[in-house]
Amino acid sequence: MLLTGLVTISAFLLLGLGATRTSRGALYMTGGMLLILISASMHVSQFTGAWTTLGAVTTEIGIGSLLLAGLLRRSDADARPWFIIGAGALSIAVLMLAWQKLSVASVLEDGPDRPVVAMESWILELGPDDSIDEVAGTLERHGASWERAFPTVDLVEDIDLAQVYLVNVSASASGPLTNALISDVENVDHIELNFDVHLDTPSSSFHLRSASQGILEDDPLASKQWALEAINGHAVHRMIADAEPARKALVAILDTGVDANHEDVSQTFASSPATTDEHGHGSHCAGLAGAATNNGLGIASLNWEGRFMDIAGYRALNDQGFGSIEMISQAIIDATQDGADVISMSLGAKTETPKVIRDAIEFAMERNVIVVASAGNANEDAIDHMPSNVEGVIVVSAIDRDLNKARFSNTNTSLSRPITAPGVDILSLKTGGGYVTMSGTSMSTPVVSGIIGMMRALNPDISDEDVWKILEETSRPVRHSAQIGNLVDAEAAIQRVLDRL
């Protein structure tokens, strides 16, 4: 800002010289106008907030106008207008400074609900051969703190994720700091805001009707699960009732946590970090993916007698349904390192996927983890929804009981791996006990994740590419398949895996 101020004041001096000199006056005037344009450009490039920029501009105009008035007065020209402009601009600058001081003082007052300083969080990625020590001076000058974002990942495992740091800085210093880091092309590979995403779950109408007869499982609420009938889930139970998995598959639910003590998932819950769920969203998803089935309790999934899949919980979202991109990335990394076969993410936001999440998903896929994500609930194109817009992710939209596109569901056929599943009035676990219906692509996603988990349980060596090929080839067209993909068919997909054994 100091250099910009000197440029502005120099512009006024040149304008004054141009106005008071007969010789080369036009040249001085041209130089002054050019410096004003340069000053304006510098203010735009250094913008750190309207209040700060306006204060700097009024101060520069005030000082420059007074200097210009002095030059005019020495030449017996009328200097009074410039004295008035200069004095007025400086008065405004002083008032702005006083107001800013009072505002800061009021923020610093003690109060139970008043934050002391507004903070921002940033994701900083250094080059593979760079050290945080090389940018520590810049961070310290702006009052920032930092820590490694993913300490369990080393350079051998991933040269990008191993070099990611979480930087916290006051909002007022955020602009100058990020500008300085972006300019440090020698050490800094990437920087992005660690923003929050939040759940957006459509309301459910709670209309439960009994499914058709011929149900094998003894779960008392199975007949109320229209989704199982729609994906031919009951036929799967008859197919695998006497089958044995090659091993249990691990399906990771990246969400608000999972109520590990719920009666219908306690038998199938694997050791994992997020064993509680104050929100309820994650528990609902967990039941759809792998609730123990034919256990005489609650609902059914495809997980016959709990023998085929274990469910793991990772907290990508907090109790209020909010999660930062760092939290989501960390959950992906943790689930991958814990040996997940499938990662199920019923979350997202309307934006291009941040680099750190794309890197985390790539980290998972390179280790043969299948990533499934919800298309979103805004009735828009999922190409603008993250993380479903990452290449290689299986993107799940939602249909209603009539097999029509759910009114809220995003479309997904602009992406490479689109599929649809039931997502309206879906019955599953209620955190703390009991059962509840919910709607959204959040619900259709774990339905697909559960099918993939069954495929991996029967054939642990089946690849990500083969899983998608089978799902795509065995899925059934529905009325809006051109917008939301075909309906997943659990019976046909699992039969195809069994046929290949």
Please name the helix (run of DSSP H) or strand (run of DSSP E) that holds residue 254, with its range, or none: strand 249-255
Q: Is 328 exposed, middle or buried (0-12, 13-18, 19+ CB in 10 A)?
A: buried
Do 381 and 415 meet the contact criterion of CB atoms below 8 Å apart? no
- Token pair of 217, please? 């499982």
438: which strand partners? 426
- Which ranges of 46-170 does DSSP label H, i.e. alpha helix? 50-74, 80-108, 133-141
Nearest Cα to 411, choosing from 380, 388, 438?
380
Place of tokens 């209040």: 51
- Distance CA(288)–CA(432), nearest Å, equals 16
- Distance CA(200)–CA(52), nearest Å, equals 36
- Which ranges of 171-280 does DSSP label H, i.e. alpha helix? 171-183, 226-230, 233-240
- Which ranges of 142-267 does DSSP label H, i.e. alpha helix? 171-183, 226-230, 233-240
Do 342 and 452 meet the contact criterion of CB atoms below 8 Å apart? yes
Catalytic residues: 255, 281, 442
Do 342 and 252 meet the contact criterion of CB atoms below 8 Å apart? yes
Pairing of strands 349-350, 385-386: antiparallel
- Token pair of 386, please? 């993250």
For residue 149, the one-letter residue type is: A
Other C-beta atoms lying within 10 Å of the C-beta of residue 288: 33
Q: Phi and psi of 207, rounded to 5°?
A: -90, 105
Collapse the DSSP code of 189 into the 3-class scheme (helix H, G, I; strand E, B; otherwise coil) and give the result: strand
Is the preceding peptide bond at 81 cis, omega within 30 degrees of 0? no
- Distance CA(501)–CA(487), nearest Å, equals 25
Do 309 and 295 meet the contact criterion of CB atoms below 8 Å apart? no
